[in-house]
Chains A and B, each alone.
Chain A
Amino acid sequence: MSLAPRTDFPLLTANPELHYLDSAATAQKPQAVLDAVDAFYKEANANPRRGAYAISYEATQRYQHARETIAKFLGSADPECLVFVRGTTEAMNLVAATAGRVNVGAGDNIVTTALEHHASFVTFQRAAIEANAQFRIAELQADLTLDLNHFASLLDARTKIVAVTHVSNALGLITPVADVVKLVRQKAPRAVIVLDGAQSAPHLPVDFDSLGVDFYAFSGHKLGGPMGIGGLIGRKSLLEALPPYQTGGDMIETVGDQETTWNAVPFKFEAGTPNAAGAVGLAAACDYLTALGPSRVRAHEVALISSLVTSLASIDGVTVHGPAGVSDAVMALRSGAVSFELAEAHPHDLATILDQHGVAIRAGHHCCQPLMRRLGVAATARASVFVYSDERDVKALGGALEHARVVFAGA
C-alpha cells in the first residue's frame, strides 16, 4: 500500500496505469499544493511586503506564514534563517557568491565528494578556480559510500567551504552527516559546511538546528511543491555577516546616491518580487508531509526500497549500485532512490522499454558525471519512490525488466 492515496495526486489519478518511479527528479503534486497556489492568485494576488492595502497585507501574511511552515518542517526554529531561492542550484550559487567570495582566497581549498550533483560540484569547482584555490574531492569506498578517512585527509586550516550531499541523488545513499561535521570542526575550523538537501528534504526527517551544518539547500518541487521555489537555510549569524547575493528591490534598507545599506536577513538575499505563490504551494506540500508524518514517510520508503532492491537483485543480469543486501545496517544508508544496471542493456534503451510498460525511470548520468566516471559508466538506470509509490510499482518494474532482459539477452 502506498502511504498517501494516489487519488490525492491529480496526475496519478489521470494516469492510473502509470508507475512513476522518477520522484527523485521531481515529485508529483498533491491537490492541496495546486489548491494553495490557485488560492493565492485568486484571493491574495498582490506584491508581498510592498503595498499598504488589504490584499497586499494578505499576500504578505500568506508568504510569511509559508516561510514559518517550511522552516519548521526542516527544523529551523527561526523562520528568518530561511532564504527563498529557486531551488538547490540557486542556493549553491548563493553560497558560492557570498561565503565563497568572502572566505575563499588563493591557496585556500574547497572540499567536496565524488557523489555531488553538478549543482554543487560545478558551482564550487568554478568558485575554487576563480579564487585560485584547490578543489579537493573525497573518494568513495568500494561499496560507494563516502570514504571518511580520505575525506578527513583533505581537511585543513585552509579549508574554507565543505560541500557535501545529504543523500546522493544518483545512488540514494545517505551521508553520515554527524561524522562529517565532527571531522570538519576538528580539522577545518574556518570552513563553512553546506549540505545539499535536495534528496533528503523529501525523504528524511530533517532538523536543521541539530544537524550542525552551516547551510542546508533544498528544492521544493522534489517534496511535492511547485517548481521554481526552494530554500537555503543558514545559521543566522553567518547570514548576517555575509554580503548580499543579488541586488535590487526589497533587499535594501537605504539607497544613497553613492552607497546602499542592506535589509535584514533573510530579505537581504531576496532581491525582487518573490515567488510568493510558489512559497505558499511549498508550505502546503510541507503541511501534507507533516500530516502523513515524517517518520512514517521514512518507514514507508525503507520498506519500499528494501523490496525494490530485493526485486532487482533477483533478476538475472541486474547489478544494484551501493552496499549489498537489505539488512538494517544497509537500509540505514539507503534513501528513496536506487541505481542499477542490466547487463547488455544501455540504461537509455532500458528506459524506453520500461516506458512501454508504463514504468517511468530515469536513465542518464543524473547530473553526476564525476560519479559516473568513477563507476566506469556513462549512465545508470535509477528508480526512485515517494509517498504515493507502492508495491505495484515495484512489481511492474520487475516485470518490465524481465521483458527488457529477454530483448537484450545475448544472441
Chain B
Amino acid sequence: MSDLEALYQSIILDHNRRPKNFGELPAPVQHAAGKNPLCGDEVAVYVKLDGDRLSEVSFTGKGCAISRASASLMTGAVKGKTRAEADALFDLFHDVVTGKVKAEDHKAELGSLIALGGVAKFPVRVKCASMAWHTLKKALESPTS
C-alpha cells in the first residue's frame, strides 16, 4: 500500500461521504467550534454527558476528507467513554498521527481510528486529523447551553 493509499483508505473515503453522527444535538448540550485558518475548514462538536460519561457526541461542519472522516470516527470512538478515557484516547491518537508511536502497536485501543494512521506520513495534514479532537476537548470545557 502506498502512502497515499494508506491515507485515503476506503474507510476514510466512506466516512467522508457518509459521516456518522453528523448534525447538531438538541439542547441542553455542550458544544464548541473549531477552525483551521489555513484552509478555512470548520467543525463544531456537540457532546452530552451522563455523569462523567460521554453519552452522545456529534459534529457538523465542512472540510477535507481527512477532517470529516476523523470527526466521524472520533464521535464513534469516544461515545460511552469517560472524560478521562476520551482524553487518553486523544493523547494516543495525537501520538499516532504525529508519528510518535506506531499505530500497529496500539490496534486494540485505537479500534477503527487506526484508519487514520496514514496521516503520520503527511505532517501538513495532522491539523486536519486532529481538529475535531481539539474541538471536542474545548466542548467538554464549555458550559452546557
Instruction: Tell me the A residues contacting B by CB distance below 8 Å.
Output: 344-349, 352-353, 356, 363-365, 369, 372, 378-379, 407-408, 410-411
A residues less than 8 Å from B7 (CB atoms) = 352
Partner of B39, one of A356, A379, A410: A379
Q: Does B10 contact A (CB under 8 A)?
A: yes
Asked whether, in the complex, the Cβ of B40 is within 8 Å of the Cβ of A364, the reply is: yes
- Distance in Å from the Cβ of B72 to the closest Cβ of chain A? 14
Asked whether, in the complex, the Cβ of A411 is within 8 Å of the Cβ of B13, the reply is: yes
Asked whether, in the complex, the Cβ of A356 is within 8 Å of the Cβ of B4, the reply is: yes
Q: Which residue of A lies closest to B38 (CB)?
A: A364
Instruction: Sort A-B residue pairs by CB-CB distance and give the 4 closest, nearest first.
Output: A378-B40, A346-B64, A348-B64, A365-B40
Q: Does B56 contact A (CB under 8 A)?
A: no
Complex Cα distance, B38 from A346, in Å, reads 14
28 interchain pairs, CB-CB under 8 A:
A344-B17, A345-B65, A346-B63, A346-B64, A347-B39, A347-B64, A348-B39, A348-B41, A348-B64, A348-B66, A349-B64, A349-B65, A352-B4, A352-B124, A353-B8, A356-B2, A356-B3, A363-B39, A364-B39, A369-B40, A378-B41, A379-B39, A407-B4, A407-B8, A407-B13, A408-B13, A411-B13, A411-B17
Instruction: Tell me the B residues contacting A by CB distance below 8 Å.
Output: 2-4, 7-8, 10, 13-14, 17, 38-42, 62-66, 122, 124-125, 128
- Distance in Å from the Cβ of A226 to the closest Cβ of chain B? 24
- Distance in Å from the Cβ of B5 to the closest Cβ of chain A? 9
Complex Cα distance, B41 from A364, in Å, reads 9
Given contacts A364-B38, A378-B42, contact A411 B65 (CB under 8 A): no
B residues less than 8 Å from A410 (CB atoms) = 17
- Distance in Å from the Cβ of A388 to the closest Cβ of chain B? 24
Given contacts A356-B3, A407-B8, A410-B17, contact A365 B65 (CB under 8 A): no
A residues less than 8 Å from B66 (CB atoms) = 348-349
Given contacts A352-B122, A365-B40, contact A378 B3 (CB under 8 A): no
Asked whether, in the complex, the Cβ of A372 is within 8 Å of the Cβ of B65, the reply is: no
Known: A346-B65, A348-B39, A348-B63. 15 other contacts (CB 8 A): A345-B65, A346-B63, A346-B64, A347-B64, A349-B64, A349-B65, A352-B122, A352-B125, A353-B4, A356-B3, A363-B39, A378-B39, A378-B40, A379-B41, A408-B65
Complex Cα distance, B41 from A365, in Å, reads 10
B residues less than 8 Å from A348 (CB atoms) = 39, 41, 63-64, 66, 125, 128
Complex Cα distance, B129 from A348, in Å, reads 12
- Distance in Å from the Cβ of A217 to the closest Cβ of chain B? 23
- Distance in Å from the Cβ of A345 to the closest Cβ of chain B? 8
A residues less than 8 Å from B13 (CB atoms) = 407-408, 411
Complex Cα distance, B38 from A347, in Å, reads 12
Complex Cα distance, B128 from A363, in Å, reads 13
A residues less than 8 Å from B17 (CB atoms) = 344, 410-411
